[in-house]
Structure 1
Amino acid sequence: MSASLDSTLTDKIFRAGDEIIRIVILSFLCTIMSLPIVTAPAAFTASFASLHHHFTEPRRGYVQPYFSVFRRSFGSVTVRGLLLMGAAVLFAVTGAYYLGVPDPGRVRIAGAVIQLLAGVGTLAVMIQFIDGASRYWLSHDVGDPPSLVAAARTALGSPWASLVAVAAVIAVPALMYWLALWQFVLLTVGIQIYAAVRILRRAAAGTRDADVGADSWPEP
């Protein structure tokens, strides 16, 4: 009994360590590959694909799928990804500006709320677009290519998963700033991606609408 518990605990510790290493590597890869901003959409798409590949086929490598998807998705996701990122940032900055004005009044507060909600919606579509693109290129172009319309429909069709993914993406850097965890700032991107993929996979496990080659999603 004791030996079995020790073995289970050891397995969990090694698994947690493996996942932490994976987050560190993905954070490093995604950050480096995103340095020229124009490559950011492909870098995030490749990161999503790498995690999907890991969760579906855990015994296989995940760095090679990263660079494979990065190269093949670059031309497809760059323009649309940059448009979504720019729109999300613009909505967020505008909303924050309205709220930061002294005595903004009801009209500006309403405008700020609308801008922030639009930013959240844009971020939800962006996450679904990157996720759909990562699964498309990971499956070697099987099915329809990713589109913004399809991403918006997916976000509307799975509103709770989309909102929770957005909340995770926003909460990770907010918590690091609040807790002053500056020593882990380079892990922010990896944690955001890992959390978003986990959330979307759990939603897909319930609907069975997002297979990337396996008969079914493995349990997260």
Structure 2
Amino acid sequence: MTKIHDMGGMPCVEALPVENKTVFEKKWHKIVLSLTLAVGALGKWNIDRSRYFRESLPPDDYKRFTYYEKWMAGLVNLMVDSGLVDQSELRDFKVANKPMQGVSVSPEALKSMIAKGDPSLCSSNTSFQPHEIGTLVKTKSPPANNYLENGHTRLPAYSSGYQGEIVLFHGFHRLPDTNAHFLGPKPEPLYTVSFKAKALWGDEAENPDDEIHLDLWHSYLEPQSGE
């Protein structure tokens, strides 16, 4: 079952407006991003787990929160889950234990962290034989986590159960479905898969011949004969 965050490609009542906005509309937006990176430097979680916590917010909160409110709520939940703070400390605005005391991240280090990101490329995994470029594949349906019920996955619901073609192979990358839940990196081949808009949305596709490219892991895909 997908979560409230999985809205991409889904039909809606009206088109969402496209606005040219600055990255940080308000000063506190910068603070939230900085806090997320600084606390993440403690090594209590990874990028996949942070995504999982943001997408696991209650549906009503997810819909009404702005972008950085989602980040802040996800960070707070991560801190509670990791034992950095507890609910009473949040309620009373008083932290009894200070595991972050003495930990600091300089502006220069923060810039480096952002530029570096969190590379997921791994060495090859002999458990998998990568598909060839041009292979026709079908995405699994439903788009569920194979390791944990209602767990994290990067397979969008709108692409689940449809046929596409592998157009790029990116090597072996850690699997978010396991990494988000501390089940190990379990590296798999990662591909870019091309889908025709008409294949995904049928006659409702605005431009049927448009192509949608998705980066998908090996276990999300099943080879097809092309018939």
TM-score by length of 1: 0.28
Bigger share in helix: 1
Structure of higher RCO (CA pairs closer than 8 Å, 6+ residues apart): 1
Bigger share in strand: 2
Say which one has the larger Rg.
2
